[in-house]
Amino acid sequence: MKRLMQIAIIGGLTVLFNLPVQAAKYQEMEVADGGTIQGQITYTGSVKMRTVLPTKDKDVCGKTRKEPTILVGDGGAVQDAVVYIKEVASGKAWPEMGRPLINNIACVFEPRVQVSKRGKVDILNTDPVLHNTHGYYGKATAFNVALPFKDAKVTKILKRHGVVRTDCDAHGWMLGWVVVVPNPYFMQTGADGQYMIDNIPPGDYTLVVWQEAVGEQEIPVSVQAGATTDLSVQLN
Amino acid sequence: MKKIIAIVSVAVAIGGTALVGLSMQTAGGKTGEVTTGRSLLDYPATTGNIEPVLSEGIPVTPRLLEHGEWVFRGLCVGCHGTAGDGNGAVWELGDLYAKDHKLPRKPRDFTEAVYKLRSTPSGSLPTDADLFRSISRGLVYQQDMPAFKFLPERERWAVVAYIKSFSDRWEEEEEWQEDPIEVGQPPLPNAAMIDAGKEVYALMQCEQCHGPTGKGDGPSAPGLEDDSGLPIVPRDFTDASQFVGSSDPRGIYQTFTTGLDGTPMPSFADFLDEDQRWQLVWYVISLRPEFDLEKTPAEVIMAEHAGSQLAKMSTEQ
């Protein structure tokens, strides 16, 4: 009988584990007396340079050059960092974002960094050469589409949250990023490195700061009703 | 032995009781009541087929998954690993009986659920029937994935269900899942079609990777890598044995239309109409040295090249 009970428990667990896991979906709602997190993203270390080495289509793609892997301005301000809050189940409405566009122009992804929610993304070739825009979640292909001629355009779907890196197998040096955020509590920094995320339901959260060369850093943060929390982050 | 039977029957009984009223995913990706009271032995044990007898698969129950796990542990873990991440002993250590033989490609990582051979658009998960076909046919050239068509069909469906359980993409992406791209029956080749295909080859810039004569030596060929960071070369179209998918007209159509996810081969789905696709298919096949439209009637060429199982797929499904 004892043995039977053990088996019963294991059997029961198997059933539970096999139930479909519903990914938590963000719910929009009215936020009363929400809090704010704001601050500046800075970097003080040495900036690594990346060599862009066009090996073909040089008349379109330009010459060999170096570019910084992190855009640092006055006082160490970091541009194109993306700050977002993880795991907010419900809260303010999504802003009007429009469909994101990844433009292949002069063998550069424009914009290099952008934020999107889950859904469709347009991919455009402005160059008179073959590009293929190959997106990855981590190392795993998210999509890979050919754009064989100028003005070729494809629409794909960013199906999951996370950082999507894009490259081009035809021009191996190309690099771009789309950060697919799980909720509207996000901001991409401008040249001043500042961010502000408002209307947050009070509670304890994890703030994520992503930058392409640094990766993701997570910082625990407590949001009080009606209050502003100052949280500047120095990347290293 | 008695004990095993007891465990199985108890597990089935408990599974059955616990499942009453629960809605679960079936292998066909649709949600419905789980069929209980049906033994796996009631499903076909057909062997040797690549196209499944059960086009919708077998409803996913705990029993099916358990069975899939047993088959997987017996036949698949050597390469794919117990965690399904492709880090099996054969990958990590090489073949112990042939020390110089390392696998040319990393075995599929089921936790990422990125698959080369799909009837679905790039970035989409494959259908269950796609997975069934890959398990059945194997992926031979530079992949070393053997054909498992000797397994009874129900065992192959059990493995399909089990390898899907390694990734939650199947549930997370259900609302975004894109429909398969239908592949019709190829037209008979003729000289005009092949000439037009050459133009499509140029317009699509295939030569950037595959080279002007299809030898796989285009200017973008050097330095290509797959998702695991291993070097990969574009297919040499002059050698029919090199194709990763099927080398027949319908297999080639599927490959350039949906792309081979996990490799540099992108999808060209958005830029070609039906006629252009078949023109490109026959042009690519015409690059094989044995292809000679003047000496061999088109019907014979068609019969020779449409011999594989994928070509026999019904368009009506």
Nearest Cα residue in chain B from A147: B268
User: Which chain B residues in 50-89 lie under 8 Å from chain A, judged by CB atoms?
Assistant: 60, 62, 65-66
The pLDDT score that the predictor gives to residue B316 is: 33
B219 touches chain A (CB under 8 A): yes
B226 touches chain A (CB under 8 A): no
The pLDDT score that the predictor gives to residue A118 is: 94
The CATH number that domain B191-312 falls under is 1.10.760.10
Strands A101-105 and A119-125 come out as parallel
B276 touches chain A (CB under 8 A): no
Q: Which residues lie across from A135 on neighbouring strands? A: A143, A166
CA distance B86 to chain A (A): 13
CA trace torsion B298, B299, B300, B303 (10° rounding): 120
CA distance A134 to chain B (A): 8
Mean pLDDT, residues B140-169: 94
A149 touches chain B (CB under 8 A): yes
Beta carbons of B7 and A7 less than 8 angstroms apart = yes
* B2-176 and B191-312 share one fold: yes
More confident residue, B108 or B301: B108
Q: State both tokens at B45.
A: 């044990």
Q: Which residues lie across from A103 on neighbouring strands? A: A110, A124
Give dist(CA A12, CA A19) in Å, integer: 11
- On the CB side of A178, CA atoms within 13 Å amount to 33
Output the CA angle B64-B66-B71, nearest 5 degrees. Answer: 95
Give dist(CA B13, CA A90) in Å, integer: 40
Q: For A79-131, how does the pLDDT look when each residue is reduced to its tens digit (9 = 90+)? A: 999 999 998 999 999 999 999 999 999 999 999 999 999 999 999 999 999 99
Give dist(CA A84, CA A117) in Å, integer: 12
Nearest to A24 by CA among B171, B31, B170, B163: B171
The pLDDT score that the predictor gives to residue B17 is: 37
Mean pLDDT, residues A219-234: 96
Residue with tokens 């358990």: B66
Chain B neighbors of A143, CB-CB under 8 A:
122-123, 261, 267
Q: State both tokens at A24.
A: 């938590």
The pLDDT score that the predictor gives to residue B26 is: 41
Mean pLDDT of chain A: 91
| Ramachandran class of A227: left when φ > 0, alpha when ψ lies in -120 to 50, beta otherwise | beta
B172 touches chain A (CB under 8 A): yes
Nearest to B107 by CA among B72, B155, B57, B158: B72
Q: State both tokens at B280.
A: 């490109």
The pLDDT score that the predictor gives to residue A20 is: 38
Interface test with A, best of B5, B33, B114, B181 (most A CBs within 10 A): B114
* pLDDT tier at A8, thresholds 50, 70, 90: very low
Main-chain phi, psi angles of B8, to 5 degrees = -60, -50
Dihedral of alpha carbons B206, B210, B213, B219, sign: positive
Residue with tokens 């110089």: B100
Whether B264 and A18 lie within 8 Å, measured CB to CB: no
Nearest to A189 by CA among A73, A31, A91: A73
Q: State both tokens at A136.
A: 């990855």
Q: Where are the domains of chain B?
A: 2-176, 191-312
Length in residues, chain B: 317
- Residue B264 C-alpha from the chain's centroid: 17
Whether A14 and B171 lie within 8 Å, measured CB to CB: no
Mean pLDDT, residues A52-67: 94
Check pLDDT > 50 for residue B24. no
Whether A141 and B262 lie within 8 Å, measured CB to CB: yes
Main-chain phi, psi angles of A205, to 5 degrees = -135, 175
Residues in Cβ contact with A173 at an 8 Å cutoff, skipping those fewer than 6 apart: A51, A52, A53, A54, A55, A107
B233 touches chain A (CB under 8 A): no
Give dist(CA B257, CA B235) in Å, integer: 15
Check pLDDT > 60 for residue A14. no
CA distance A93 to chain B (A): 21
Statement: B2-176 belongs to CATH 1.10.760: yes
More confident residue, A111 or B300: A111
Strands B23-25 and A27-28 come out as unpaired
Beta carbons of B84 and B100 less than 8 angstroms apart = no
pTM score, whole prediction: 0.85
Question: Per the omega criterion (within 30 degrees of 0), is the bond before A111 cis?
Answer: yes
Whether A129 and B168 lie within 8 Å, measured CB to CB: no
Mean pLDDT, residues A171-182: 96
Beta carbons of A179 and A163 less than 8 angstroms apart = yes
Query: Which domains, ranges and CATH numbers included, belong to chain A?
Result: 25-235 (2.60.40.420)
Output the CA angle A230-A234-A235, nearest 5 degrees. Answer: 135
